[in-house]
Amino acid sequence: MNNLDKCTELVREIYDNMDASHDFQHIERVYKNAETILASEPEANSEIVKLAVLLHDVSDAKYTTTKESEERILAALDLTDEERNFIREVIASVSFNGGNELEAKTIEAKIVRDADRLDAIGAVGIARTFAFGGAKGRKLYDDAEETRSNMSVEEYRTKSTASVTHFYEKLLLLKDLMVTEKGRQMAEERHEFMVSFLRQLKNERDGIV
């Protein structure tokens, strides 16, 4: 069994226990996004990108406080220590962290970051936002909530904001934070769809439509 097949088998059991915002279907979509971007970045190491995609949420801080699962799976794969460190670095650069993300220094990190962020916006991003909010018991919207900026990682992680607030604190910012040319192109339509959705939501709430 090659590394990609083995990694897929090992991560699936972890993602199958997560809510719909971070389940294995999320990984499949990010994987497809990464393949699309890879086609425009032939110099990138495709195996590193794909393994990082498969592993990038197994130790997500929203679900666990340790890296145990990530390290266990990395150890089970036929990789050099240098390759394992490379994958760790790529994964570490993916998270938004309230605007405190690490720099994506390699093309592999840039591809995985953009591929993941593309799944956070557009129609799927809207669905995932409300799926996560529902799993956490969050309000759909709260007009009294102020949109935060310049948050610390702890502030971003610990405050339970309404789902619509999350659009203004993160999702609507992502289009301008894409770091590959293909990622920027793919983000445009998805961003506009979110803007249209929020406009329609406000109209319905206000009784305009």
pLDDT, the chain, mean:
93
pLDDT > 90? residue 77: yes
Q: Are 162 and 130 in contact (CB under 8 A)?
A: no
- The whole domain housing 52 covers 3-205
CATH number, domain at 153?
1.10.3210.50
Angle between helices 122-135 and 181-205 (to 10 degrees): 60
| pLDDT tens digits, 129-167 | 999 999 999 999 999 998 887 766 776 666 789 999 999
| Distance, CA of 111 to CA of 186 (rounded, Å) | 12
pLDDT at 146: 86
pLDDT at 157: 64
SS3 204: helix
Q: What is the pTM of this model?
A: 0.93
pLDDT at 186: 98
pLDDT > 70? residue 21: yes
Percent pLDDT > 70 in the chain is 94
pLDDT > 70? residue 170: yes
Q: Are 113 and 179 in contact (CB under 8 A)?
A: yes
> pLDDT band for position 50 (50/70/90)?
very high
Number of domains in the chain: 1
Report, as an integer, the average pLDDT of 21-40: 97
pLDDT at 55: 97
pLDDT at 107: 98
